[in-house]
């Protein structure tokens, strides 16, 4: 068995099949290889031979470019929160890690500097599942501060999995005279089909446009021609892996951004730059739960949340907003102490006029 380390080039033979690749961080019973085609393969070390082909050289220092301020361009602040768009690949090992600051983004996508002058703040470096009401408060306050200090637009880089929650929260927390654009990537920058550069360039186009308020800008179709601009309160991630996962629900998107021409084609009405006064409403009640009803579900979950001191419940009912009849008295009782509202499990349609 060869003595090898992360970053080394090795040849692995497993069940008569040969794999060549760079050793990535692996568990002790496995070797994970970054193959030449960019994909990773994990092989159990059981019955496997590993031959060292080449030792890794020292990790290259990331190239740092200067990004001089360009006169006449708008000023955009990038607030980084984490997620796949914030991931960077270590080309020695192929490992993807979260370490993107605004400067890293400009180094990786230099075309951005033709669109605006960028300032950056790293608010967090987390997966979006780890966000909570306090993250949204910090983000809303940071947007407010940047706009008060003269930013012409804001870009929030964000994990895609809960991006629509943050977009909705920010839409209600901040009334903005300038664009606040949330953007993410379904595929990390080490993959040939990565969407991070295109989404980011389209986001910058929107951040410098006349589309004020909170929007999400993500890939619009399977090829690389355009992104859609979605209203922050109307967008949802509707696919686990496709780059077109984000769609506006119940309404058309606000606009589409043509990637190569960098122009915006409007589809619906929107609030225009400068139309609204800046306003921050940053109060949040974290003790609020989302409960999805299913057939046969006992109503005692309501008692559980009431007993834990929750102040609000959003019930995701069926169809127009229904739950089983056994729930009616339980909801009536709990509603004396907490706010209970009904939403629908249906993706499309309304539950009230």
What are the residue numbers of the active site? 84, 160-161, 237
Looking at residue 110, the DSSP 8-state letter turns out to be: G
Q: Sign (positive/negative) of CA torsion 97, 98, 104, 110?
A: positive
Contact positions with ligand GLU (CB under 6 A) in 269-308: none
Size of the site for ligand GLU (CB under 6 A): 12
Judge whether 258 and 229 are in contact, CB under 8 Å: no
Tell me the closest approach of the beta carbon of residue 87 to ligand GLU, in angstroms: 8
Q: Give the separation between CA 231 and CA 100, rounded to whole angstroms.
A: 26
Position 159 contacts ligand GLU (CB under 6 A): yes
Tell me the closest approach of the beta carbon of residue 94 to ligand GLU, in angstroms: 18
Judge whether 38 and 89 are in contact, CB under 8 Å: no
Cα–Cα distances in Å, from 53 out to 11, 27, 47, 313? 7, 21, 19, 59
Position 198 contacts ligand GLU (CB under 6 A): no
Q: Which is nearer to ligand GLU, 84 or 209 (CB)?
A: 84
Q: Which of 127, 244, 249, 258 binds ligand GLU (CB under 6 A)?
A: 127
Position 179 contacts ligand GLU (CB under 6 A): no
Q: Give the separation between CA 20 and CA 43, rounded to whole angstroms.
A: 12
Tell me the closest approach of the beta carbon of residue 71 to ligand GLU, in angstroms: 35
Beta strands 179-183; 153-157: pairing state: parallel
Spatial CA neighbour of 232 closest among 149, 136, 138, 315: 136
Position 132 contacts ligand GLU (CB under 6 A): no
Q: How many residues does the chain have?
A: 353
Tell me the closest approach of the beta carbon of residue 90 to ligand GLU, in angstroms: 18
Spatial CA neighbour of 21 closest among 91, 98, 96: 91
Q: Which of 22, 24, 32, 84 binds ligand GLU (CB under 6 A)?
A: 84
Q: Which of 184, 232, 299, 317 binds ligand GLU (CB under 6 A)?
A: 184
Q: Which two tokens stand for residue 102?
A: 């605004």
Tell me the closest approach of the beta carbon of residue 185 to ligand GLU, in angstroms: 6
Angle at Cα 143 formed by Cα 140 and Cα 147, nearest 5°?
Answer: 140
Position 189 contacts ligand GLU (CB under 6 A): no
The span of 127-135, 260-268, 282-290, 303-311 binding ligand GLU (CB under 6 A) equals 127-135
Binding positions for ligand GLU, rule: CB under 6 A: 82-84, 127-129, 159-162, 184, 186
């Amino acid at each position: 068995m060869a003595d090898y380390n992360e970053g080394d080039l090795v040849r692995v033979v497993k069940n008569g099949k040969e794999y060549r690749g760079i050793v990535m961080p692996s568990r002790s019973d496995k070797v994970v290889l970054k193959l030449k085609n960019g994909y990773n393969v994990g092989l159990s070390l059981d019955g496997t031979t590993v031959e060292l082909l080449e030792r890794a050289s020292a990790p290259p220092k990331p190239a740092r470019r200067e990004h001089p301020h360009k006169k006449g361009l708008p000023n955009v602040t990038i607030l980084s929160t984490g997620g796949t768009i914030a991931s960077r690949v270590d080309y020695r090992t192929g490992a993807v890690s979260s370490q993107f600051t605004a400067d890293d983004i400009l180094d990786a996508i230099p075309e951005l500097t033709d669109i605006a002058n960028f300032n950056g703040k790293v608010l967090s470096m987390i997966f979006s599942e780890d966000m909570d009401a306090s993250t949204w408060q910090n983000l809303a306050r940071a947007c407010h501060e940047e706009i008060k200090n003269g930013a012409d637009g804001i870009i929030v880089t964000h994990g895609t999995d809960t991006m629509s929650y943050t977009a909705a929260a920010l839409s209600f927390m901040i009334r903005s005279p300038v664009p606040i654009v949330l953007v993410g990537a379904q595929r990390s920058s080490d993959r040939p089909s990565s969407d991070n550069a295109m989404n980011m360039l389209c986001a910058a186009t929107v951040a410098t446009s006349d589309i004020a308020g909170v929007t999400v800008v993500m890939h619009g179709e399977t090829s690389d021609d355009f992104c859609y601009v979605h209203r922050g309160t109307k967008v949802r991630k509707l696919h686990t892996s496709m780059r077109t996962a984000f769609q506006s629900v119940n309404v058309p998107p606000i606009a589409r951004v043509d990637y190569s021409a960098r122009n915006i084609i409007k589809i619906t009405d929107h609030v225009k730059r400068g139309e609204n006064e800046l306003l921050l409403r940053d109060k949040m009640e974290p003790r609020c739960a989302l409960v999805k009803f299913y057939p046969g579900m006992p109503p005692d979950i309501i008692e559980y949340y009431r007993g834990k001191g929750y102040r609000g419940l959003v019930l995701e009912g069926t169809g127009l907003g229904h739950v089983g009849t056994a729930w009616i008295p339980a909801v009536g009782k709990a509603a004396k102490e907490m706010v209970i509202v009904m939403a629908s499990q249906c993706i499309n349609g309304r539950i009230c006029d």
